[in-house]
Amino acid sequence: MNNFESASKPGEIRVVFEDDRVHYAGQYVAVVVAETLQQVQRTAELVQVTYETRPPAIDIDQALDTLYDPAEFFGEKLAATRADPEPAFQQAEVTHEANYLMPIEHHNPVEPSASIAHWDGDELTLYETTQQVVGARNTVAETMGMPEENVHMVSPFIGGGFGCQGFIWPHSVMSAIAAKKVGRPVKLNLTRKQTFSGCGHRSETRQKVSLDASRDGKLSAIKHETLLQTSASARRLKRMESRCDGMAVCAWISSKRLVPMNSSRTRSIVQRPPTTAGDRAIGHTLSPIESICRIALWRLKRSASSPKPPVDATIHVSNQFPILTGWRTTTVTALGRGLSATQAGC
């Protein structure tokens, strides 16, 4: 429906029902329409699907032979390097290396995604739970082969989103197809179970972070390597390099490798910022450096900030950091795009 490698149409390239293959767990294979909720639930239970089975890749280790290094995403280069960090690590006074495994995370807002489709001649009106009404309209129009001005997207209220309402998902097009077929308005609600597979997730990641610092707490080198789970049907990427790009005084390297998996649904944004998983890894790796150097965490972060930052930023420190570090101040103003403790805990 969408294209996550396109800046104008982010999302899954595959159109719903376009082939007879099952690309991931939870994929829609049919839609049932009935007069009442009870009727449609019972009818759906009676649908029988015959599958030709093939071995799925349900774990990153099973798909390591599909590793690839993406060049960029949304026009942004994903592998960034500033100088060579190896000499700094060889002469390091303080070094810490850690590995992090972060599981799949789901949005699950209180309000599950839903769609009501109504046709009036050649014009389609969709009542949606979406935060991107214009983008959703454009995607539906292109998918249905319609002029954009013939698609009307109505989304007066969002009962929670957490990222999954920022895109258009297959159930929206399914409701439009069903309404066209029966000649009546059709309402399609995702069940709570379907919210785990029908509207994106934050993918599993494996990260290796290496930090090098002087005894006075000045960071001099960072390595950040990532294995990022993605879908074989749409290679949806995300930024993982945390705020390394704002640490201008470091010789650092940040690399990314993705693993397409045929059992994984296309991932999406889950909350903000997009570098949350990377922020977590960098933030947790900073803590041992802080303890060894006996320097407050915010000073350690500030020592790595750009001397001429593009913007001013306020670092908000979460409640757990005073407990972990003994530092009792809860808010401090710092320059540049240094790590935020709030972001590291998202």
pLDDT of res. 213: 83
* Same domain for 284 and 214: yes
* Same domain for 278 and 153: no
pLDDT of res. 71: 67
* Same domain for 99 and 215: yes
| 136, part of any domain | yes
| 20, part of any domain | no
Rounded CA separation 135/8 (Å): 8
Which of 198, 155, 151 minimizes the C-alpha distance to 179? 151
Tokens of 191: 């069940």
| 27, part of any domain | no
pLDDT of res. 242: 52
* Same domain for 226 and 164: no
Number of independent structural domains in the chain:
2
| 325, part of any domain | no
Range of the domain at 181: 37-52+109-196
* Same domain for 251 and 229: yes
pLDDT of res. 274: 58
Task: Using the 3D structure, point to which of 143, 178, 196 is the last residue of a domain.
Answer: 196
Tokens of 58: 């349900």
* Same domain for 117 and 74: no
Longest Cα separation, the chain:
73
Q: Comparing 151-165, 175-189, 223-237, 261-275, which segment has the lowest mean pLDDT? A: 261-275
| 215, part of any domain | yes
Tell me the residue ranges of DSSP E strands in the chain: 72-73, 76-77, 80-82, 94-102, 114-120, 123-128, 151-154, 186-189, 205-213, 219-231, 251-261, 312-316, 331-335
pLDDT bin (cut points 50, 70, 90) of residue 335 is very low
Q: pLDDT, tens digit, for every residue of 86-136?
A: 888 888 888 889 999 988 888 888 888 899 999 999 999 999 988 888 988
* Same domain for 160 and 44: yes
* Same domain for 185 and 133: yes
Q: Do 230 and 236 form a contact (C-beta atoms < 8 A)?
A: yes
Q: pLDDT, tens digit, for every residue of 18-69?
A: 888 888 888 899 999 999 999 999 999 999 999 999 888 888 888 888 887 7
- Domain CATH number, residue 282: 3.30.365.10
Tell me: pLDDT of 192 over 70: yes
pLDDT bin (cut points 50, 70, 90) of residue 235 is low
Task: Using the 3D structure, point to which of 196, 229, 244 is the last residue of a domain.
Answer: 196
Q: pLDDT, tens digit, for every residue of 166-186?
A: 778 889 999 999 999 999 999
Rounded CA separation 160/129 (Å): 9
Q: Do 239 and 64 form a contact (C-beta atoms < 8 A)?
A: no
* Same domain for 173 and 41: yes
pLDDT of res. 22: 87
* Same domain for 67 and 86: yes
* Same domain for 271 and 192: no
* Same domain for 136 and 45: yes
| 226, part of any domain | yes
| 300, part of any domain | no
Tell me: pLDDT of 193 over 80: yes
Q: Answer whether 0.85 is exceeded by the pTM.
A: no
Task: Using the 3D structure, point to which of 266, 293, 320 is the last residue of a domain.
Answer: 293
Q: What is the mean pLDDT of residues 66-95?
A: 75
| 115, part of any domain | yes
